Structure 1
Amino acid sequence: MEKDGFFHSFERARSYLVCRLIHTRERAFLREVPYRTAFADLDMVPCFFERKEGRRAGGYPITSQWMTRWEIDEERLFEEAFSNMQKLFPPRLYRLDSLMESPMSGSVRSILLHLLQDRFPDTGEEVLDQVARVLARRLGKKMQDGSGLQPMWVLGNESWLFGAASLLYPGVVDSFARKVGGDFYILPSSIHEVILLPEGGRETRNQLYEMVAYANYRMGDKEKFLSGSVYYYDSKKMKIQTL
């Protein structure tokens, strides 16, 4: 179905409206796209998403042109998009080491497999998959045992689509603060997920920023980039701020 034809009717398009987080500097490239300040240097923008067979779902920012055609205002647009986002993509929280070792999730292993296939195109997929599985387990153990930091958690959703926006869902950050017994750091790994790190007293600001910088440097698809900042959730103030 052509996107323009689908967008012509708000009633047809509304169930495909979601939202995603962007860095404030992206506003310059999305001049006609409405936004809401999320926290610190991140904004929330409404998007239309579609799934294509054999490909990851894509997102298209909603512009003021479509709002005019649909005869709706920004408040209605964001209300529909944010409500729909929570229904379609409920939040999911994973221990990072368990995520890396779990053959059920396979997300980290899939990334490693993709990198290995690019590096060794003549090697069979079954062999590379076994190598990726071993590397994922070793990486998870190294991060847990060798970093000197508290166990890390990954917040996203089961579809791994715009999962960083889960931070804005009602009760999500408060619930995690209660789970870990206090304040925590938020490391933006991509627009699809963030890493949550309970404050343990051993981490340094430079260490955390280096982790984010390295993750962004290694990111293959730059369209997934969210931010180079590190954020801190103060459970007493119930506020996310830049570290």
Structure 2
Amino acid sequence: MDYREFINEVENTILDYMPPEYENAEVRIDGTMKNNSVMRQGLSIHREGEVLTPKLYLDEFFQSYEEGDSMKEVCSHIAKEYTKHSLDDKTFGVESILSFEKAKDNITTKVVAAKNNRSLLRERPSTKLDDLAVMYQIEVGTTPFGRATAPVTNELMKSWGVTVSELHHLAVENTERIHPSKLSAIESILVGIEENMLEEGITYQQCVLMVLTNEDKVGGAGVLANPQVLSKVSEVIGDSYYILPSSVHEVLVIPKECAYIMDMTPKELGAMVRDVNAEEVSKEERLSDHIYEFDKDKKTLDTVKESKEKTKDLER
């Protein structure tokens, strides 16, 4: 059974494995464009009167089937996981998305690579951030597995009657309020010490490598959209710094002086990012193949051109 046949089988039989309240529900499986133009097949099950439903992606379940699980076992697993993903917060209905007044406090940022997401960016409002792009989403609830979000599309923004600039300002503020930024020395993380060097009273002690993310470590690269946070990092370390985009969930920070002392050139740091992306980061979670610099005096975020040298060589 190939992937297409697997999807058809799930679509035709999954209700047999769902709880009784799903007996008359409608099953939908459709392709969803994810980060970096990754297309994934998502399952959603719509009961009468339900506006917001979870979407469960089927790739990993097909992998289980290929590894020897029966269709009965796979469908039972899908049904169990789908039920778990149902929204805990039932207060979110369609008005929580269509009404700007109700949605505005839950709009947050999502940072992606602009070049790899052209299709998405045609459909969604965005703000340029060097060669990255800031998109926006509405956080509509939580599941046992994390956030449930809905994208802000061009049509939705137009219906709200707001500008991209207004949307961006609001989303940046909301993101920091809902998901506060976190800067930790990598040594502390490795030994299990929870710290946030952005908090008062925690001093910088010549950390060579730091992790910049948010408190729940999901979509943490969104901190790059917040110039106040980036400035606070430079104040904490007392230096301009390089940013290694390890994934959409976190970035690494190296003070420029530390990189110089350790003889870590931008070209070498760029090669490090590319190696990690190729070997350890899924395509959907990649942010960039080169590094950035935040200048503490100019308060600007820019690509370090030297870190792209190998990429340019490969493209020739």
Q: 1:162 aligns to what?
A: 219
Q: Which has the larger radius of gyration?
A: 2
Q: Say whether residues 1:209 and 2:270 are aligned partners.
A: yes
Deviation at 1:161, TM superposition (A): 2.5
Select the residue among 56, 65, 72 that pairs with 2:155: 65
Deviation at 1:8, TM superposition (A): 2.4
Return closer, same or farther for 1:229/1:61 CA change in 2, 3 Å cut-off: farther
Aligned length: 199
Q: 2:168 aligns to what?
A: 78
The separation in 1 between residues aligned to 2:187 and 2:214, in whole angstroms, is: 17
Q: Say whether residues 1:179 and 2:236 are aligned partners.
A: yes
Q: What are the equivalent positions in structure 2 for 1:64-143 lying under 5 Å apart?
A: 64-102=154-192
* Residue identity opposite 1:230 in structure 2: I
Runs of 4 or more, structure 1, over 4 Å off, are none
| Identity rate, percent | 27
Q: Say whether residues 1:242 and 2:297 are aligned partners.
A: no
The separation in 1 between residues aligned to 2:121 and 2:227, in whole angstroms, is: 27
Return closer, same or farther for 1:54/1:103 CA change in 2, 3 Å cut-off: farther
Deviation at 1:167, TM superposition (A): 2.9
Residues 173-222 of structure 1, C-alpha deviation per residue, up to 9 Å, x if partnerless? 22322332322110001112110011231112232012211221234543
Q: 1:36 aligns to what?
A: 127
> Equivalent residue of 2:122, what SS?
coil
Structure 1 range deviating more: 185-194 or 43-52 = 43-52
Return closer, same or farther for 1:76/1:232 CA change in 2, 3 Å cut-off: closer
Return closer, same or farther for 1:162/1:69 CA change in 2, 3 Å cut-off: same
Q: 2:250 aligns to what?
A: 193
The separation in 2 between residues aligned to 1:22 and 1:151, in whole angstroms, is: 26
* Residue identity opposite 1:91 in structure 2: S
Structure 1 unaligned segments of length 5 or more: list them: 106-148
The separation in 1 between residues aligned to 2:148 and 2:275, in whole angstroms, is: 25
Return closer, same or farther for 1:32/1:172 CA change in 2, 3 Å cut-off: same
The separation in 2 between residues aligned to 1:224 and 1:67, in whole angstroms, is: 26
**Structure possessing the higher relative contact order (Cα contacts under 8 Å, 6 or more residues apart):** 1
The separation in 2 between residues aligned to 1:9 and 1:102, in whole angstroms, is: 42
Residues 22-71 of structure 1, C-alpha deviation per residue, up to 9 Å, x if partnerless? 11111333312111112x21121111234442213244431111123323
Q: 1:2 aligns to what?
A: 51
> Equivalent residue of 1:233, what SS?
strand
Deviation at 1:84, TM superposition (A): 1.1
* Residue identity opposite 2:266 in structure 1: R
Return closer, same or farther for 1:60/1:225 CA change in 2, 3 Å cut-off: farther
CA contact (8 A) 2:188 2:194 kept: no
Return closer, same or farther for 1:235/1:68 CA change in 2, 3 Å cut-off: closer
* TM-score, normalization by structure 2: 0.57
* TM-score, normalization by structure 1: 0.72
